[in-house]
Amino acid sequence: MTSALLVIDVQNDFCPGGALAVAEGDQVVPIINAMIPDFETVLYTQDWHPADHSSFAANHAEAEPFSVTQMPYGPQVLWPTHCVQGTHGAAFHPDLILVGDLIIRKGFRWAIDSYSAFFENDHKTPTGLTGYLRDRGITTLTLVGLATDFCVAYSAIDAAKQGFTVTVATKATRAIDLDGSLAKAMADMRAAGVTLK
Ligand code: VGL
Ligand code: ZN
């Protein structure tokens, strides 16, 4: 069994004071830092949007942040502008230890959002992470980071569907919790065979 730690979106905009702040988002940083030495391989994702990204409410006439719109690939929450490429908000939390083998950026195509580290929100366009992990002989993943009910959950479910053995270390995650999204994400992860620890 070769295992890796997959650190999801621990970026300034998801921490208190950020554009899409997750309550207590920064509290995962010391917990993740303490876990890192236990893993031979550490991978990170970075939400990385162009300023005109179609997932931003500001780029839709009269749309409120946190409303839902219909995209060609299905329903999409319209978010406050966040994690714009090259900005402070898109940078990793300054205290996060970056010892990584790989940083995978996602959400950089104007027309499509990407919550999952594996597939964009059409559930079809691959990021290449599956191939990377298989090539490295990695079979087992532990996921941590932000936010539990969006990027962590989507990544965990896709990883399980791709045949990886997946654990989410919930002490090292925090949630947005939009309209019951956390309870739904927990149920969906369990149904997909993800271990919640
Ligand atoms: C995320 C909403 C929009 C996340 C990213 O990292 O969970 N959520 N973009
Ligand atoms: Zn985003």
Question: Ligand 1 pocket check: which of 10, 53, 79 to mutate, most ligand atoms within 8 Å of Cβ?
Answer: 79
Task: Record the pTM.
Answer: 0.98
Nearest CA, atom 8, ligand 1 = 150
Give the pLDDT of residue 8.
99
Give the pLDDT of residue 96.
98
Neighbours of 62 (CB within 10 A): 6
Would you say residue 48 has pLDDT above 80?
A: yes
Give the pLDDT of residue 113.
98
Give the pLDDT of residue 100.
80
Produce one character per residue of 93-131: b if its CB has 16 or more CB atoms within 10 Å, e if not.
beebbeebebebbbbbeeebbbbbbbbbbeeeeebebbe
Would you say residue 1 has pLDDT above 80?
A: no
Average predicted confidence (pLDDT) for the chain: 97
Q: What tens digit of pLDDT does each residue of 109-148 get?
A: 999 999 999 999 999 999 999 999 999 999 999 999 999 9
Helix, strand and coil percent figures for the chain, each rounded to 5: 30, 25, 45
CA distance 169 to 55: 28
Question: Ligand 1 pocket check: which of 28, 92, 109, 146 to mutate, most ligand atoms within 8 Å of Cβ?
Answer: 146
CA distance 147 to 104: 16
Give the pLDDT of residue 44.
98
**Averaged over 66-76, what is the pLDDT?**
97
Ligand nearest to the CA of 22: 1
Is 9 annotated in the active site? yes
Ligand 2 (ion): residues with CB under 5 Å are 47, 107
Q: 83 CA to middle of ligand 2, Å? A: 6
